[in-house]
Amino acid sequence: MRPGEVERVTVAESVDRYVEMVRAKSVTGTLAPSSAELYARDALTFAALAGPGRVLDDLSGGDVDEVLLRFARKPDGRRARPEPAVAGVASQSAASQARFRRSVSAFFRYAVVAGWVQLDPMAAVTVRPRRRGGLRAERRALTAEQAEGLLGAARDLAAGPPGGAVAGRRADQRTELRDGLIVLLLAAVGPRVSELTRADVEHFFVNGGTRYWRIFGKGGRTRDVPLPGPVADVLDAYLRDGRRLLDRGREPKALLLSWRGRRLARGDVQGVIDRVLARVEPERRRGVTPHGLRHTTATHLLAAATDMDAVRRVLGHADLSTLGRYRDELPGELEAAMRVHPLLPPPRA
């Protein structure tokens, strides 16, 4: 489309069309539903901050700068009682600001293709979010001792006494078996938390005597990941004894069920991890998030000299370069590498 043919649509109208497009992509499988909703939410926030009635093509880089600054000062709605904005102080984290900026950039790239703007104003934007100074501790990989303590607690929990009513628990399901399975899957396979909660019973199958998990990941990509033997054993026990039937004896579709028999929500997973962590010896206990367990999987697989492409496939990344973000340093790793330096073989006896 030539510059003279630019369609002068308002910010609100262009965002509505864009949101419809990204949600359609989630229906066709080219964009994960969670990603589509994130893009849609940020686009709607952009429209509210930029002024819904303004013509999109009239926005300059300075106008977008102002929107980014307004977003940075916007109270974080995830808090129960958002703190009032303070002049010169950002209410949004650096990560949230960077994510919002990426969403706005994606919106304007589409606007150029759709013919709503002559030039992408993001090229003239000067506001940049502060870079994060590394991951928070709970999002970093566990050490071998910490991971072994957590996995041991998960296996012990899953191996608890079967059946029977437990005080404060349902008699028709074993939530302790479910909790152990969740931690084992997160730490041994490293799925995204959305991939874990979206898992259905039919996504697990056996091929050649090995139990596999068909994971439906980002961008409509799927991967078949073999489960380690101890994890497969807990999975089989959970499928056999741990899940309650729905009314009239129907088998539920979701793998992980809440106490009420519904699909487990993403927000419930952290509580499960914390309950299992409480059973770990204090000297090996360290707080960790689901994403931190994903880091743990990648870090220890790579530290064990596992093929990088195999690790990429386990985690569901399209590019090997992405692994760098999931690779944390381990205590003693450099010392071990230097002890077996390839250019300096050990002296002969």
Q: Tell me which residues are annotated as active site.
A: 192, 218, 291, 294, 317, 326
Residue in 178, 51, 26, 41 with CA at minimum distance from that of residue 100: 41
Distance of CA 224 to the CA centre of its chain: 18
> Are 129 and 94 a contacting pair, CB within 8 Å?
yes
> Are 150 and 183 a contacting pair, CB within 8 Å?
yes
Neighbouring CB atoms inside 10 A of 295's CB total 21
d(CA 322, CA 7): 38
324: phi then psi, degrees, rounded to nearest 5: -60, -30
d(CA 278, CA 150): 9
CA atoms 117, 123, 127, 131: torsion sign: positive
Angle CA 251–257–261, to nearest 5? 65
d(CA 264, CA 269): 8
What token pair was written down for 250?
């129907």
β 222-226/204-207 pair status: unpaired
3 state DSSP class of 344:
coil
Residue in 291, 278, 264 with CA at minimum distance from that of residue 141: 291
What are the Cα distances from residue 137, in Å, to 93, 134, 140, 158, 314?
16, 9, 5, 27, 24
